[in-house]
Structure 1
Amino acid sequence: MGTVEETLKCPVCQDFFTDPVSLSCGHDFCLTCIQAVWETEGSDEVPFFCPECQIFLPSDVTLEINTNLQTKAHALLHQQRSALREHTVVEVTGDPLSLKCQEHRDELKLFCMEEMVPVCCLCVLVGMHKNHKVFQLHEACVDFKTSAADFKERISDKYSRIRVVLDGDERLMMQIIDAEEMYMTEWLEAQRGHMEAQIKEIDSLRASRKSLLQEEIELRFLQQIKAQNLWNPLDLTPIQEVDKDLCDLEKLTTVERLVDDLSVALSQHFPRMWSHLSSPALDSKSAHPKLEISQDRKQVYWRTQPVSEALSPQPYDSQYSVLAQESFTTGRHYWEVIVQEKPYWLVGVTTGPVDKRDALSQSSSSLGVHNTSWCIYHGYGQYLACHDTQEKQLSVGKRVRKLGILANLQKGELSFYNADTMTLLHSFCVQCTEPIYPMLNPCIDASGLNTQPLTMFWIKDHWDWHINTEGAKE
């Protein structure tokens, strides 16, 4: 076995592989090299063979590019040749044109900070991004990552401040209650002591009067009356009844009312719409054959194979859709779909066919634009709210990169939002007794410009507002 460098060189030209192909015998050659050998070594009737081991190959042999070997050879080529060391090496992509400017066909090396898009050098020098502020791609990545970290830190700090305020308010209210309890207890103890002294005095007088009434000698009885000044009626301080108002826990009820006011003020902002966030999985059985579903069932693509001429040339066709596995009949449900820079897309909900397996046999109007379907369609900056045969053009200030859908089935409302700004785009009145399914339509790929997927937004370790609040109440 030779060195790594030797294994990445063609046995014919002795240079690094260019479009390497692997023969059934296991040997590799440049595509042009093996084709040149077969053309020079014999006619078309002569069987194909391997120049290395001389094994004859089938007459219907197919030559397919070995992308893994090509990547290794290309990377080593950039390492060894000084003229190529400054080149940018990226991962192999199925669409190399996506790495180049659509207008100038030059490599996208810069990032326009004003338009927030990757650009080439010519875009900045003579194109639409002339005089715009631009960064190198890696600088832009670092800047965005730093900004994201700063946002995260600032938001965390704001929540920390809120917790400090809430904790401080709780401590204050608890201190007020403790102080009120202490002073109320002291006052009640003082009242009790005063009453006990009065009762003791009365009991003493009662005992002495009882003893006097038992005196049988008249002279001594009269002498005791004079000594104790009993000629006049007794003037005893009456026992005061405790005023109920003085025992009223008014301050404690005031504290409770203030805490209730705080709870009401907070509840106006809770639960947030994101508290209802879900990420329904896509049902590949309901997808049109021209659509491809990712393995995690969160993305839908337009397939990369050429589109048949029999298909409609229009980017929007409601037939090219996929439904979610989950349907909704009651409650509040919210999900988001990442659309990013796609020029065409259609997102909404539908009752779907009765049997999802029959979805593909239905007419195009069966998914998306019938009387139990509600959608938002985007086509190169234009937004339409679609229901049945009606279309309404929407005025959207900022381009939507994530679309949010809130289904409030108790109220019969279906609302679409710019999920980044939580700006309402449009609301439908939904009167439907059948289960509704989230629906995604990536639209056909027009000249390689609409290859991006539609992606269901998903977060890890979702905090369930209902479960946690119910637990807190208990």
Structure 2
Amino acid sequence: MASSSSSTSDIGVILNELTCPVCSELYKEPTALPCGHSFCRVCIEKSWENREEDTGYVCPNCRDVFPQKPKLEKNVIVANLVENMKLKEGKVGLEVEVEDAEHGDVNVKEGMKAGGSESYCELCNGEAAKRCVPCEILCCEKHLKPHQQKGHKLVDPGVKIEELRCIEHGKPILLYCKDDESLMCVTCTGGEHQDHKIVGVEIAHVELKDVLAAKYPRVSQSMQSVASQLRQVQREEDQTENSSRDAEDSLEEKRRLVCQFVNESVDLMKSEINKRKMEKLSLLGKQREKLEQQMEDLRQRISTMDTALQDLESISFLQGSKDLLKRMPRARPGTSLARPKRGAAGSGRLETMSDFKSVKSTPLPVLDFSKEEKNLDGLITLNKNFLEKIQKGPVEHPEKVDLDQNNLRRLYGRSPSLDPNSAHRQIKISGDLRTATQSETENQYPEHPDRFDVYEQVVSRDSFSSGRHYWEVDVGSSRWWGIGICLNSMGRKWVESGLGENPASWCLYKSNNDFSAYHNNRCTSLSVPGDHERFGFFLDCEAGELTCFGDSRVLHVFRGNFMDPVKPAIWVYDGSVHFVHLVK
């Protein structure tokens, strides 16, 4: 086994000596240059053809330059050794792996890769891995090792040699001036950089990387901070989109309700108008019929009388007057032409005719809808004023509303209902979910994460994160209570859950006749004259305000971020507290 290994090693050494440095194959028509290095004739010819610089003829191995093209003569000794090696192995076109101390494991094959120029090794036309700066050649991984062992500067194949040379002197850039922060060659040290602090480019490279590495954590931290701000902006954008969409949906619902109200009101008034019209027309029709009948009777009498008056003979007129009066139409019952009394002369009948009186029509009431029209006019005026305010242009801050409680009830009235799952066990909730009563005994409520376990508190089912909302609370049967709002995310356990005692809640508080406003465990005493039984709360989410009312006057205004969901909340120590049902 040792002999076989030694024989293989000897063959490897011989093959290495008989391998062309350009194509890494066994020599084919080997030729020797004046410097002593041998190459395949084809390989050395192609190597010279591929060189673009007009610097003479260069040995690819030692880089010696020959001013004139050397005469290429066959190296007979090397050619014979190659032939003997091929015969010894028993075949032509031998492919064998060799272990070379300089190149490592390589495949020696016949032929050479075609190609060239900047992306190929200038020694074998293989794919270039690096460019050797001092030697100014491209090398593959195989031919790169000698340059690495000599400590030559290596760069990527795409880097141009001109970029690595001093523009002024044309020599390789090896130094770095810290004062001017510029690259330089050795010749530059004698000029304006003479007294400057100069180091090698590799040292400068390491030092600059250390500086950048030291700054990297701070820049990375700044980037994280900016990323956090970007996420916050994105959240606010999403909240703005959601808030805008909710507001538009709410407005559409109000549009539907307003249109429904207007349509129903107009239809109802039109129906009433038509009903009154038909009643009056019926009465007028009956009066018209009576008057038309009287008119016909009178026409007949006028015609008879005209005929009699045309008779100029007195005796004849008097003889016919009795028959004339008998033939005249009788007046209908109810008219002034009543039957003459017995024994009355004809002249009485004529007199009765002359006393005819027409039927007087009973005056009918005028159709009056001024009150209904006034109500509609008031609604139209209100809408016009509202539109004029909108048309003034976009408003940066929500417009303050008229803090009249009647308007607040009508426009923004809400009737919250209590959430039994949040009620403390000593709080009893009424069946309509509007009244919270303090109980001396604990109610058997099931466990729930939303249930208060320290304070006798309860929150509503309703939560608000946008828009305007108004509700009222009746406290007539309680002397000690707290009413306000809290974030939906406020804790329900331990002592931090008290209304007004943390950053997530705002509370109007009463103890006997003392009033105060609490937020984040800070107390503001309030002067509230009288003993009020009802208190109002107006929440403007966009403006960030919770206004507390007592007896139609503003008691206190809380300010905070009410764009997160908030819930009306109650704390009751004695008696009962009741959410008032507001009907718009």
Structure 1 length normalisation: TM-score? 0.36
Rg larger in 1 or in 2? 2
TM-score normalized with structure 2 length: 0.29
